[in-house]
Structure 1
Amino acid sequence: MASKVDPQNIRKTFGRFRVLIMGRANAGKTTILQKVCITTENPEIYNAKGHKVRTIFHTTRGNHDITNELVFKSNPGFVFHDSCGFEAGSEEEFNDMKKFISERVNATKLEERIHAIW
C-alpha cells in the first residue's frame, strides 16, 4: 500500500510541483500560467537536463519541446511543460505527448513525475 502524502508537507515531499498544460497552439496557455504565477514575465526555459535553453519564450508553433521545463522566476516551485498544441493532426506531436506522459507517470523520482495535467 502506498504511503499517503501529508497535504501540509506536499512542497517538502515533491520539491517542485510539475504540471503539463495542454491546449491548442496560441490558445493563451502562457497567459494563464502568468496569471497563476502572478507575473507578466515570460518563463525561463530549461532542457530535460536542467540547462537553460533560453529566456525568451517563443509562442509560435514549433519553437518549443514538451520535455523543456518552463519556470517563472516569480514562482520557481512550479515547473510547467507545454503540450505544443497538436490540433493540426500531427500524429508525431500526439505520439510525443503520449510518450512524455508515460515516461513521467512512471518516473521513479517523485520530483520528475507529472503531478497534474491541465
Structure 2
Amino acid sequence: MAKEKRIAIKEAEITNNCPECFNQDLKLSFYQKHTYNPFFHRTTNEVIHEIKCRKCYSVIYPVNWTEDIERVFDYYNKMVTPDRPSVKFTTLFFILMILIIGAVVAVVYMYMEGII
C-alpha cells in the first residue's frame, strides 16, 4: 500500500488581512507530493498550496482571496522551486530483482544442461 506525504518546500508568513477575522497573520505554505511504497519512493511534480490564518485557524480558499493575497501568492509561487520528479528504489526492490534474475538464470542453466 502506497503512502502519500506532503513535504513542505516553502513557507512564508504574509501580512495580508484574513477574509474571515481581518487579522494580519496569514501563513502561505507550498507542499510537494511524495509517494512511499515498499519497493520505491517517488517524488512527483505536483505542488499544492495552502493559506491559513494563524488566529482563527481557517483555510483561505482561492474564492475568498483579495487582490493583495493574489499578488503575494503569485510572487511566492514564482519563488518556489520543487524537487525534480524522481524515483528512488529501496533495498527490498534490489533484493527481489537479484533473486528473480538468479532464478531465471538457474532455470535456463538447468534447461541447457538437460536437467529439465
Larger radius of gyration: 2
TM-score when scaled to structure 2?
0.30
**Could you say which structure has the greater relative contact order, defined with CA pairs below 8 angstroms and 6 or more residues apart?**
1
**Would you tell me which structure has more helix in proportion to its own residues?**
2
